């Protein structure tokens, strides 16, 4: 298409919109998009203490609002129904937490002992490997070989039977000491973060309660005040569809993960693994994070096997039991139950998990998949960015 401007013929690449060339304007829009994306990431990262409870509460409110609506039809007030639902959901989890408090406390007390044992084993391994490296260096120097930039010379102290060599890091700390220090730092970080986690949990529960009571009325007021009549029905259908699909996804995945935890716990109990219920609950919770959660679950069960059986082949039994059950669940059960509507590309999903894990830590990893499902459903219903939706749904 050729446009005319003041008698001059313009090429298609020189066509102007509001006095700005089309090509330049598209470039400015792309730059503006990336600047907005970076600003959004910056806001999500530095305002996570404020936004994290709000986003979690919104997801739970979307999930539980249909139950409140059903109870309202039975002439139960919203306030009472919201409190009953939260108590019905939180009660079993509270009882389960009380039941698991003793084994969790026992393992917390065993962590320093396990760290000490691992430290001793690492020191033994590095202590036996270091004299071999020193002897090889001495043979190279005696045979006239070159010293690597003068770092190894004949003045270096040789290893003797009376003075064993201990492998160390650049600042003189042994590998075992570094492992012990890292374990202590992890425990201190967990203890320091506990009050913050409890405060955020209480805040989240309060927000869920207020969203269930006052959220629907506020949303209806927003629709009728800010949205034009032509788009009101579309917005209501969009929220209803997201609510239905999100509820279906969370309920289905929760049921699958609960069955996975129960099956794993029962199998571990049958083979004689200690605290099988604790490990079953933990692997069920970790399975809400695809790909990443099972890896942490296997590492955790590997540690449990080493603690119970020692460094023998039998220590791999808990990991093999969990891996077998998780393989069946991931390859057959979950794809069959969820179906095509919840299809997500594995590469995009793992990158999405890493991003939210970097932004909000463990909570970000747990809510990453429901957020991606909500975004995909919103784009599909609004018929925007259809190419991105197809890309997200691409399977190998």
pLDDT digits (tens, 9 = 90+) for 270-292: 999 888 899 999 999 989 888 88
Gap between the terminal Cα atoms of the chain: 40
Q: Which residues contact 50 (CB under 8 A, 6 or more apart)?
A: none
Phi first, then psi: give them for residue 288, nearest 5 degrees.
-70, -20
254-277: average pLDDT = 91
Q: How far apart are CA 396 and CA 391, in angstroms?
A: 11
Classify residue 142: in a domain, yes or no. no
Question: What local confidence, expressed as pLDDT, does residue 181 receive?
Answer: 58
Q: How far apart are CA 359 and CA 357, in angstroms?
A: 5
Question: What local confidence, expressed as pLDDT, does residue 158 receive?
Answer: 47
- Contact of 53 with 61, CB cutoff 8 Å: no
**Whether residue 266 has pLDDT greater than 90:** yes
Classify residue 56: in a domain, yes or no. yes
Classify residue 87: in a domain, yes or no. yes
Question: What local confidence, expressed as pLDDT, does residue 161 receive?
Answer: 47
Question: What local confidence, expressed as pLDDT, does residue 167 receive?
Answer: 47
**Percentage above 90 pLDDT, the chain:** 13
Listed residue (379, 356, 351, 381) closest to 367, CA to CA: 356
**Whether residue 41 has pLDDT greater than 80:** yes
Classify residue 262: in a domain, yes or no. no
**Whether residue 321 has pLDDT greater than 90:** yes
Q: Which two tokens stand for residue 273?
A: 């693994």
With helix as H, strand as E and coil as C, how does 248-275 read? HHHHHHHHHHHHHHHHHHHHHHHCCCCC
Q: How many domains does the chain have?
A: 1
**Whether residue 144 has pLDDT greater than 70:** no
Question: What local confidence, expressed as pLDDT, does residue 33 receive?
Answer: 84
- Maximum distance among all Cα pairs of the chain, rounded to whole angstroms: 97
Domain region containing 124: 47-128+171-226
37-50: average pLDDT = 89
Which pLDDT band holds residue 117 (cuts at 50, 70, 90)? low
Question: What local confidence, expressed as pLDDT, does residue 396 receive?
Answer: 54
Classify residue 34: in a domain, yes or no. no
**Whether residue 126 has pLDDT greater than 60:** no
Kindly report, residue by residue over 146-179, the tens digit of the pLDDT: 444 444 444 444 444 444 444 455 455 555 555 5
Classify residue 83: in a domain, yes or no. yes
- Contact of 208 with 64, CB cutoff 8 Å: yes
Which pLDDT band holds residue 83 (cuts at 50, 70, 90)? very high
**Whether residue 193 has pLDDT greater than 90:** no
**Percentage above 70 pLDDT, the chain:** 71
* Residue, of 38 and 346, whose pLDDT is higher: 38
Task: Kindly list the distances between the CA atom of residue 295 and the CA atoms of 92, 289, 321, 363, in Å, as whole numbers in the listed order.
Answer: 27, 10, 14, 17
Question: What local confidence, expressed as pLDDT, does residue 156 receive?
Answer: 45
Distance of CA 335 to the CA centre of its chain: 20
Classify residue 123: in a domain, yes or no. yes
What average pLDDT does the chain have? 77
Which pLDDT band holds residue 190 (cuts at 50, 70, 90)? low
195-220: average pLDDT = 86
Classify residue 254: in a domain, yes or no. no
pTM: 0.69
């Amino acid at each position: 298409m050729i446009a005319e401007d003041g008698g001059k013929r313009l090429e298609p690449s020189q066509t102007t919109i509001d006095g700005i060339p089309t090509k330049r304007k598209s470039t400015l829009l792309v730059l503006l998009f990336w600047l907005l994306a970076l600003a959004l990431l910056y806001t999500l990262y530095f305002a996570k203490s404020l936004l994290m409870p709000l986003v979690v509460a919104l997801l739970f409110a979307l999930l539980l609002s249909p139950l409140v609506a059903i109870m309202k039809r039975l002439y139960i007030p919203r306030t009472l129904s919201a409190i009953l639902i939260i108590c019905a959901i939180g009660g079993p989890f509270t009882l389960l937490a009380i039941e698991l408090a003793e084994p969790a406390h026992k393992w917390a007390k065993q962590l320093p002992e396990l760290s000490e044992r691992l430290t001793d084993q690492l020191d033994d391994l590095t202590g036996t490997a270091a004299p071999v490296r020193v002897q090889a260096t001495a043979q190279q120097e005696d045979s006239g070989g070159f010293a690597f930039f003068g770092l190894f010379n004949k003045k270096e102290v040789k290893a003797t039977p009376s003075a064993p060599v201990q492998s160390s890091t650049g600042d003189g700390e042994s590998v075992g000491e570094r492992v012990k220090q890292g374990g202590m730092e992890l425990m201190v970080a967990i203890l320091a973060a506990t009050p913050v986690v409890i405060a955020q949990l209480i805040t989240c529960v309060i927000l869920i309660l207020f969203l269930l009571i006052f959220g629907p009325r506020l949303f209806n007021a927003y629709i009728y005040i800010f949205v034009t009549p032509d788009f009101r029905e579309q917005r209501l259908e969009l929220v209803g569809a997201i609510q239905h699909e999100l509820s279906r996804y969370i309920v289905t995945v929760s049921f699958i993960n609960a069955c996975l935890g129960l099956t794993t716990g029962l199998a571990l109990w049958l083979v004689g693994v200690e605290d099988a219920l604790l490990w079953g609950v933990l692997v069920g919770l970790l399975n809400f994070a695809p790909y990443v959660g099972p890896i942490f679950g296997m590492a955790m069960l590997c540690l449990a096997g080493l603690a119970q059986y020692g460094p023998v082949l039998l220590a791999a039994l808990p990991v093999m039991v969990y891996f077998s059950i998780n393989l069946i669940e991931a390859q057959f059960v979950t794809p069959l139950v969820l179906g095509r509507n919840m299809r997500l590309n594995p590469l995009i999903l793992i990158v999405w998990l890493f991003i939210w894990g970097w932004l909000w830590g463990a909570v970000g990893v747990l809510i990453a998949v429901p957020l991606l499902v909500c975004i995909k459903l919103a784009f599909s219903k609004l018929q925007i960015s259809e190419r991105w939706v197809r890309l997200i749904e691409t399977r190998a």
